[in-house]
Structure 1
């Protein structure tokens, strides 16, 4: 053991002497190695941001709809059924901020209804603000049906919005709504999925269930609880409906 300690001490002292008296042997190579790593890192960052890409940026044609300025946009008397999830004795998913899922989605529903009605749509709700409605009671006649929800998971890192549908004749509407949400939302787009949620499978016309985000995620929750982000979601939903109808 003592021999090993002496050997370690000698190796350490030799290393110190080398670093102190033989700088000319390693300083120049070390400098160039450091510069090489720095240059590679910078180039990697630049390529990741597509600065050197010679491909022209894709021009996306998106319909800009100014719902707030009394534009010529019209929903031509279409009946839009909005289903704010949960309500009354059923508050829905718990949140980080303290607001309930039922409160958040009803606020988004009201903001959406204001936009739609001011542009010629008939809007029906499946429940009142502080009311509970069973899944059977949420079945309503209309031209389009949107059920609004916000999920919660045990893993707080899960984030994003998702659109769901049940039947093939509902898929296009769900996908169109997903595209509109993707334009306005800051959350991860979790895509459009087929599911047998009762609120959509009990209908035979275009219907979708939208999970706006995860209240178990602090960022999703804080944003969904804010008036500004709710306004954005109402704009996205209204624009998605307009795009589908046109």
Structure 2
């Protein structure tokens, strides 16, 4: 901090000497421009210094926290049949993305991570399609206790971001709202809410079913995070937590 004070004092002295001497008129605007740059630099340096002092103690450590699915081992989903519907697949890649990964790839990866945790807790998990397989909407009518369809959207407007949870019937609404709340606790995107919609994968089922748009692949930030393994782990955890909160 002493160096910052000395720098500030030196600047003030230079400014005073300048005012005492006669200078060409064109140098005055230049001097004030350079002065503004100097002031901003000093303030920025002071901010960095204070931040470093505040966070430089031995008690502060920034570490990467890996997702540990084993910590869900005390949760039991015994007797529950959960259907996971990874959207699109095969000849239908789904929404295009900024990074080049397809919607079908991203949601299938998240589906696998979700299934791993659910099965470890005793659930019977079924997929509506295999990896790189195409399944029609009619083929996705699979009976179970809960149904979760995973998607990621795309729009012409690249600024649009967020996740949305959809349901069709009133008896599906509570499940949709519970899932949306769980996602809100983990997602880094805007919560666009829970909405009623006539997506075939939900209206063709007579039990609790939701369709989740996890983000917008047309948005660079959404796309980058949804393609990231660690963030996919977060989405899988949110889905498992939502199922648990709804059932228990």
Moved over 4 A (4+): none
Deviation at 1:71, TM superposition (A): 3.1
Deviation at 1:124, TM superposition (A): 0.2
> Which of 177, 188, 191 is 1:189 aligned to?
191
- Counterparts of 1:191 and 1:209 in 2: how far apart (Å)? 12
Pair 1:103-2:105 in alignment: yes
Unaligned 5+ residue runs, structure 2? 1-67
Aligned residues: 181
Question: CA 1:79/1:218 → structure 2, altered by over 3 Å: closer, same or farther?
Answer: same
2:231 corresponding residue in structure 1: 229
RMSD: 0.9
Preserved contact between residue 73 and residue 120 of structure 2 (Cα < 8 Å): no
Return the match for 1:77 from 76, 79, 86: 79
- From 162, 165, 169, give the equivalent of 2:164: 162
TM-score by length of 1: 0.73
Counting only pairs closer than 5 Å after superposition, residues 33-52 of structure 1 correspond to structure 2 as: none
Unmatched runs of 5 consecutive residues or more in structure 1: 1-65
Task: Please tell me whether residue 143 in structure 1 is matched to residue 145 in structure 2.
Answer: yes
Aligned equivalents of 1:92 and 1:181: distance in 2? 22
- Does structure 2 conserve the Cα–Cα contact (< 8 Å) formed by 1:151 and 1:211? yes
- Give, in whole Å, the separation in 2 of the partners of 1:157 and 1:70: 35
Instruction: After TM superposition, give the deviation of residue 72 of structure 1 in Å.
Output: 1.9
Task: Tell me if 1:123 matches 2:118.
Answer: no
For the residue of structure 1 that corresponds to 2:185, the secondary structure is helix
Structure ID, larger Rg? 1
Deviations 1:154-204 (A, max 9, x none): 000000000000000000000000000000001000000000000000001
